[in-house]
Structure 1
Amino acid sequence: MSIYGDNCPLVLTPQQLNDLRSDTGVAVLDASWFMPNAPRNAKGEFAQKRIRGAQLLDLDHVASPNELGLKHMMPSPEAFAKACEDFGISPSSHVVIYDTHGVFSSPRALFMFRTFGHNRSSILNGGLPAWEAHGCPIDQGHATAPSKSVYPPPKMNDRAIRDYLQMRQNATLNPAGESAAEIVVDARPQGRFHGTDPEPRPGLSSGHIPHSRSLPFTAFLETNNYEKDGTTATYTTLRSPTGIYESLQTALGPEYTKEVMSGKRNIVATCGSGMTAGVLWLGMKTLGVDNIGLYDESWTGYASREESPIEKTTQP
């Protein structure tokens, strides 16, 4: 069992993870994911360079089938349990997740583990680049498969997930006049939220869900520089709780921020496909916000349906 026991932090530093490497109860997963139009391949990059002892978690591979054919949806309890068994992860394992951007797709993987009640889980702040920048050990080549474990199918926390019908119903409620309305924050870039920039997925309208607020996931992140192969490379890390709170208040205003922080009003994160909404989820969890959910299909699922009302604005 990890030295943290049942109180595993949401976020670990490279030094903290390096101190855990000799712990047999720790499992490290690379959950790197790239946009469909990105010229990068997670599997190929994993073989070239990874944290020593890590295994590759393909969020698309473990996902449940979706009626619209969407990727990386939440898996069924059985699919999640099987993936854990294949990774040699047991319910007592401390799972540490990272990605190659720094902080990008690892929060979505952490959301998956925590939503299935596996609270012995964390992300590596800064991911593989931060690990490398701190001089920590790297593996290359073929990864050795671990011994399989036993992982009973867990119960999913349904309160953490929103579906299309719930989002449609909530969109009919104006938070200014309806105390039951959930605040919806959208992690996409502002141009896509306002409808002035196109979506990266062909044929999909940009814009936003009625009454939602723009909160780009980058507002919760900081950019860091480090020297790599004679050039300056960058990676992202999660901002401090103070910085995250300031960004949240800028997006929501003082009144709604107070209601969310006190638990009086629920908040739901959405994005393009359900990936970077995990960054907003993680940031708010670090503030102690428990009343946060995630719209699994996100904008791709919402805007793909012709009956969905879409709002566009001409300015932020």
Structure 2
Amino acid sequence: MPSLVLPGELVSSQWLAEHRNHSELILLDASWHMPLTQRNGYQEWLNERIDNARFFDFDREVCDQDSAFPHMMPTPQHFELSAQLLGINNNSVIVVYDSLGIFSSPRVWWMFKTMGFTQVAVLDGGLPAWKEAGFPLNTQPPEKVAHQGDFKAVYHADLISDTKQVVDAIDDKQTAIIDARARNRFLGEVPEARKGLRSGHMPSAINLPISEVLHNQTMKNAYQLAQIFEALMPQKQRMVFSCGSGVTACILALAAKLAGYDALSVYDGSWSEWGANQTLPVVQSK
């Protein structure tokens, strides 16, 4: 069987259906829901999934479990072992999806990119698009992974930003801080859902809600995305993406990548870290 090659950072349901039985393909369900929804991505995966999909739990398992902030990036060693236990090899080709369309799957796509793995893509439209296309689902109990993989992590620190780097970016004319939260949260017009967080945004940050890059929970095309980013930043420059807790920021990272940008980073702690630190500057609408 010839080696599998991804067509890009996004794949369609049709492409996945044609290649889902390839020996190199690893399908990951990365479904995660905001706490207030009271939905459980893991339980939903147990009940219904694309056949052979393995569950990637970046919220409770593949994360820094000692951090005070939610689903922070784990160490390369932790990530490597977690990927191996999912049967992932260095020559695997990974497709990530989630149950909302495009919501949490780009977070796992970005995690693999950060760990030096390039053969990874997001299923455009996720599970809803797969269902709408009429492709089959598996509702039987999932099988255990048969063999541990040989995946090796190579950490790319430039793809993840910490608080100090974001502080430095505030006055850096070559770097744009882009916030993925809804505009009323960005402006501080509504309180944050997480207790103890201030409302508002970082100085010099630009607001680009995720709804602006999506259409019916699928990604807008590359031309549309390029227009969006060029309108925000006429000259190409480095971008640091932030959101509530580092998940939807990765949707913007994916959108920027599709639009042709490469100098990209995600602020891992995002507003859950910035908003909780009383020493950091916050801007609110007046």
TM over 0.5: yes
Structure 1: tracts of 5 or more residues without a match: 224-235
Cα offset for 1:153? Answer: 3.8
Question: TM-score normalised to the size of structure 2?
Answer: 0.95
Which deviates more, 300-309 or 150-159? 150-159
1:199-210 to 2 correspondences below 5 Å = 199-210=192-203
Give the Cα–Cα distance (whole angstroms) in 1 for the partners of residues 25 and 130 of structure 2: 16
Contact 2:4 2:22 in 1 (8 A): no
Q: Percent identity?
A: 32
User: What amino acid maps onto 2:62 in structure 1?
Assistant: V
Match of 1:63 in 2: 63
Task: Give unpaired runs (5+ residues) of structure 2.
Answer: none
Aligned to 1:129: 128
CA contact (8 A) 2:241 2:253 kept: yes
2:211 maps to 218
Aligned residues: 285
CA contact (8 A) 2:90 2:152 kept: no
Matched residue, 1:233? none
TM-score when normalising by structure 1: 0.86
Q: Is the 8 A contact 2:84 2:151 kept in 1?
A: no
Cross-structure match for 1:293: 265
Following TM superposition, by how much is the alpha carbon of 1:21 offset from its aligned partner in structure 2, in angstroms?
1.4
SS state of the match for residue 186, structure 2?
helix
TM-aligned CA distance change 1:247 to 1:143, over 3 Å: same
Counterpart residue number, 2:220: 239
- Residue number in structure 1 paired with 2:81: 82
Q: Output the amino acid matched with 1:307.
A: T
Amino acid at match of 1:219: E
SS at match of 1:139: coil
CA distance, structure 2, for counterparts of residue 2 and residue 248 of structure 1: 37
The structural deviation recorded for 1:168 is 1.8
- C-alpha distance in structure 2 between counterparts of 1:2 and 1:221, whole Å: 34
CA distance, structure 1, for counterparts of residue 32 and residue 146 of structure 2:
25
Residues 250-280 of structure 1, C-alpha deviation per residue, up to 9 Å, x if partnerless?
4x2xxx33x22xxxx2111100000000000
Alignment match, 2:180: 187
Over aligned residues, Cα RMSD in angstroms? 1.6
On the 8 A contact 1:8/1:94 being kept in 2, the answer is no
- The CA deviation at 1:212 is 0.4
Which residues of 2 match residues 150-189 of structure 1 at below 5 A?
Answer: 150-171=149-170, 173=171, 178-179=172-173, 181-189=174-182
Q: How far off is 1:150 after superposition?
A: 3.4
Contact 2:226/2:260 (<8 A) preserved: no
- Cα deviation code 1:51-76 (max 9, x no counterpart): 01111111111102454x11221121
Cα distance in 2 for partners of 1:90, 1:313 equals 49
Per-residue deviation, 1:49: 0.9
